């Protein structure tokens, strides 16, 4: 950072909170932390700039009112903004209290075995704490970028092209990949629902946010892709080898087919015994002249689970 001006924000201007988060990706972590802002800030999250840094098993959540940050940028220009915490980021193993002087006060960061446990602003360092005092002019670590920056959108043209290729040439691979991604996302949502439930009991967290997560979870579960391979396998087992399928339509779990085979009415018991099928009804059964075979139609519902 040598030769480039930066702006250190004290805790009085930029709050810092320690948040436990599940092991998820950056985008999902940002969504979870946005929900958790309600526990630290009484207003709308839209009124805040917020950012986070992953430190070990913790996420450090930084937030400040938009009006405050916009005012600093208007007066001082668009400088890289860092919290006073960044002056500690070059220390690999942190334990005990660290103090950063700021505007006649001290930003106090207390660590226990390399985990941040408390942050506060004090007029003077308490005598019972032997805090290590760090210079506020120390060059910030290059490990972490500045706060509240506009993130550049990545170019997803090539990944999207590869995805189209997978959908066209490897449908089954795309299907199982989607199921795995949905399961992972549902698992993270379940963790978040559990966290919000505990916070509701302890701090009366927003019921509206919890309901929104439940609705999103139910929507994912209900709109899960249908396993075409399972449907065709179960349909073939129920019909038997003597049936030829002439036409088949499957939409949103409901199916209708026309076929030719021997004793189609006798096969209804197989559909009744199969947990994957429901409301299967035969109709338009007609004998084929000079043959033991019959033409028939079926309609019913396929439940994939």
The pLDDT value given to residue 211? 82
Strand order in the sheet with 294-302: 244-251, 254-261, 294-302, 277-287
What pLDDT is stored for residue 283 in this prediction? 93
**Concatenated DSSP letters for the chain?**
-TTS--EEEPTTTSEEEEE---S--HHHHHHHHHHHGGGT-SS-GGGEEEEEEEETTEEEEEEEEHHHHHHHHHHH-S--EEEGGGGGTT-SS--EEEEEEETTEEEEEEEETTEEEEEEEESS--TT--PEE--TTSPPPTTS--BSPPPPPP--HHHHHHHHHHHHH-HHHHHHHHHHHHHHHHHHHHHHHHHHHHHHHHH---HHHHHHHHHHHHHHHHTPPP-HHHHHHHHHHHH-TT-EEEEEEEETTEEEEEEEES-GGGGHHHHHH-TTEEEEEEEEEEEPTTSS-EEEEEEEEE---
Q: Check: CB of residue 305 under 8 Å from CB of residue 291.
A: no
Is the pTM higher than 0.85?
Answer: no
Give me the residue spans of the domains in the chain.
7-133, 157-222, 228-302
pLDDT score, position 198: 73
Q: What is the CATH number of domain 228-302?
A: 3.30.1360.100
- The predicted pLDDT at position 150 comes to 74
Per-residue pLDDT of the chain (305 residues; tens, 9 = 90+): 455 688 999 999 999 999 988 888 889 999 999 999 989 998 899 999 999 998 878 899 999 999 999 999 999 988 899 999 998 888 889 999 999 998 889 999 999 999 999 999 999 998 888 899 988 865 665 568 899 987 655 555 566 566 656 666 667 767 777 888 888 889 988 888 888 877 766 666 567 777 888 888 777 766 667 778 888 898 998 898 899 999 999 888 899 999 999 999 988 988 998 988 999 999 999 998 888 999 999 999 998 76
pLDDT number for residue 18: 93
How confident is the model at residue 261, as a pLDDT? 92
Backbone angles phi, psi at 16, to 5 degrees: -130, 130
Estimate to the nearest angstrom the gap between the alpha carbon of 34 and the chain centroid: 12
């Amino acid at each position: 950072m040598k030769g480039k001006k930066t702006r250190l924000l004290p805790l009085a201007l930029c709050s810092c909170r320690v948040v436990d988060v599940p092991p998820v990706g950056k985008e999902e972590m940002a969504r979870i932390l946005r929900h958790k802002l309600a526990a630290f800030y009484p207003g709308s999250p839209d009124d805040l700039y917020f950012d986070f840094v992953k430190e070990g098993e913790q996420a450090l959540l930084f937030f400040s009112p938009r009006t405050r940050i916009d005012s600093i940028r208007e007066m001082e220009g668009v400088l890289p903004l860092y919290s006073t915490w960044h002056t500690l980021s070059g220390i690999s193993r942190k334990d005990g209290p660290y103090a950063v002087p700021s505007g006649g006060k001290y930003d106090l960061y207390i660590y226990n075995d390399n985990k941040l446990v408390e942050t506060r602003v004090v007029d003077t360092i308490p005598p019972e704490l032997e805090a290590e005092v760090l210079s506020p002019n120390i060059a910030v670590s290059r490990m972490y970028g500045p706060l509240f920056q506009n993130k550049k959108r990545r170019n997803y043209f090539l990944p999207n092209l590869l995805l189209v290729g997978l959908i066209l040439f490897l449908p089954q691979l795309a299907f199982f990949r989607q199921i795995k991604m949905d399961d992972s996302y549902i698992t993270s949502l379940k963790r978040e629902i559990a966290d919000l439930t505990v916070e509701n009991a302890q701090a009366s967290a927003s019921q509206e946010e919890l309901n929104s997560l439940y609705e999103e979870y139910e929507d994912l579960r209900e709109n899960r892709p249908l396993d075409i391979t399972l449907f065709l396998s179960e349909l073939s087992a129920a019909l038997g080898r003597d049936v030829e399928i002439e036409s088949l339509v499957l939409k949103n779990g409901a199916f209708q087919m026309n076929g030719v085979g021997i004793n189609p009415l006798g096969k209804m018991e197989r559909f009744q015994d199969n947990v994957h099928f429901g409301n299967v009804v035969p109709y338009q059964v007609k004998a084929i002249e000079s043959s033991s075979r019959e033409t028939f139609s079926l309609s019913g519902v396929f439940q994939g689970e």
